[in-house]
Amino acid sequence: MSIPIIDLSQFQISNQVRRQNVVKNIYQACHEIGFMYIQNSGISPDLLEQVFSASKSFFDSPLAVKEQLAWNNEFINTGYVGLEREHLNPNQPGDLKEAFNIKNDIIINNFSSPILLTNNPVISTFYNACTELANTVLQAFALALELPEYFFTTRHNQKNHTLRLLHYPPLQTSPKPGQVRAGEHSDYGSLTLLFQHAVGGLEVQTTRKEWIAAPLIPGMVLVNTGDLMQRWTNHIFCSTKHRVMIPNDERVKKSRYSIAFFCHPNDDTEIACLESCSQRQSPIYPPILAGEYLLSSLQLTY
């Protein structure tokens, strides 16, 4: 099994046959593996490079500076998360990574870092570009599930998404037993956009429980469906486990950078099994509010 490539430009044209074909391929990707590469995503490579460069200068700054911006609670879920602080797999030691979580403009303005955000429109431009891409994918999801095209986007219109810069430093000492760069987990929200930089390492679990590499494909954006989409669709779309292992080659001596954009429904959205998804199997999960689900997931991993 491999991760399919979807050309999104074919969804943004008026030709209904080609559009429907993209919708069908997206359905299949979400159903069979929960991951896909998006080609012609509309995200400018130059902009992405600028965000990676801002990310690198932030992580290069002294720990004391980063800690002034420390993440301190799951309700705000914004700020700097130090090495080994988060356990994406709660049963294993903390992840060998540091991260910086950024929420929407209001929070950005109240929580700006002198290095990363002040006078740096790059981050907010990128946040908006990711929001736009996520909305296009959500439109295709709705059509794939035989819902009105804007069913999901209207439930995601409060920009409740988290942009996360990630840095996996070169390994200095031996890891603890079971410790990896990012423990195996599924994402919590509706979908995630993932951008890797040079040093790869992401792995995805197939339905046969095999781990396959999800390498960087230059110019493409990796998209995966998260837990809330899995609940909403009664497992028709899957929330696939993924992880970042410690490389067993020279990449272990290198910093790895990635960026994740976690797309979340508005907090007050009730995630209840969609009618079109309850025909073959009765609802697996009870309804839950999107905001509640996110909070409980964060509480498990910090």
Ligand X SMILES: O=C(O)CCC(=O)C(=O)O
Q: Which residues have a Cβ under 8 Å from the Cβ of 110 and sit 6 or more positions away? A: none
Q: Minimal CA–CA distance to 100: which of 80, 122, 123, 76?
A: 80
Contact positions with Fe ion (CB under 5 A) in 48-67? none
For residue 268, the one-letter residue type is: D
Q: Which residues have a Cβ under 8 Å from the Cβ of 267 and sit 6 or more positions away? A: 158, 160, 289, 290, 291, 294
- Binding footprint of ligand X on the chain (CB under 6 A): 166, 182, 187, 194, 196, 202, 242, 244, 258, 260
> Which one, 147 or 246, has the nearer CB to ligand X?
246
Determine the interface stretch with Fe ion among 121-129, 187-195, 203-211, 271-279 (rule: CB under 5 A). Answer: 187-195
* Minimal distance, residue 149 CB to Fe ion, in Å: 27
* Minimal distance, residue 36 CB to ligand X, in Å: 15
Do the bridges between strand 202-205 and strand 242-244 make them parallel or antiparallel, or are there none, so unpaired? Answer: antiparallel
Phi, psi of 36 (to 5 degrees): -155, 155
The option from Fe ion, ligand X, none interacting with 6 (CB < 5 to 8 A, set by class) reads: none
Nearest residue to ligand X on Cβ basis? 258
**Binding residue (CB under 5 A) for Fe ion from 86, 98, 187, 227:** 187
Contact predicate 37/217, CB 8 Å: yes
> Which one, 18 or 56, has the nearer CB to ligand X?
56
Q: Minimal CA–CA distance to 257: which of 78, 60, 102, 87?
A: 60
For residue 277, the one-letter residue type is: C
> Which one, 160 or 225, has the nearer CB to Fe ion?
225
**Six-digit token pair at 134?**
């996520």
Chain position carrying tokens 């709705």: 142
Q: Minimal CA–CA distance to 171: which of 194, 198, 199, 197?
A: 199
* Minimal distance, residue 103 CB to ligand X, in Å: 15
* Minimal distance, residue 85 CB to ligand X, in Å: 13
* Minimal distance, residue 241 CB to Fe ion, in Å: 9
Determine the interface stretch with Fe ion among 110-118, 179-187, 232-240, 264-272 (rule: CB under 5 A). Answer: 179-187
Contact predicate 212/2, CB 8 Å: yes
> Which one, 163 or 290, has the nearer CB to ligand X?
163
Q: How many residues bind Fe ion (CB under 5 A)?
A: 1
Q: Minimal CA–CA distance to 189: which of 242, 97, 266?
A: 266
Determine the interface stretch with Fe ion among 131-139, 186-194, 228-236, 290-298 (rule: CB under 5 A). Answer: 186-194
> Which one, 116 or 260, has the nearer CB to ligand X?
260
> Which one, 133 or 194, has the nearer CB to ligand X?
194
Distance CA 178, CA 251 (A): 19
Determine the interface stretch with Fe ion among 54-62, 127-135, 180-188, 225-233 (rule: CB under 5 A). Answer: 180-188
Count of CB atoms within 10 A of residue 117's CB? 20
Cα 125 from chain centroid (whole Å): 18
* Minimal distance, residue 279 CB to Fe ion, in Å: 30
Determine the interface stretch with Fe ion among 152-160, 185-193, 211-219, 245-253 (rule: CB under 5 A). Answer: 185-193
Which residues sit at the interface with Fe ion, rule CB under 5 A?
187
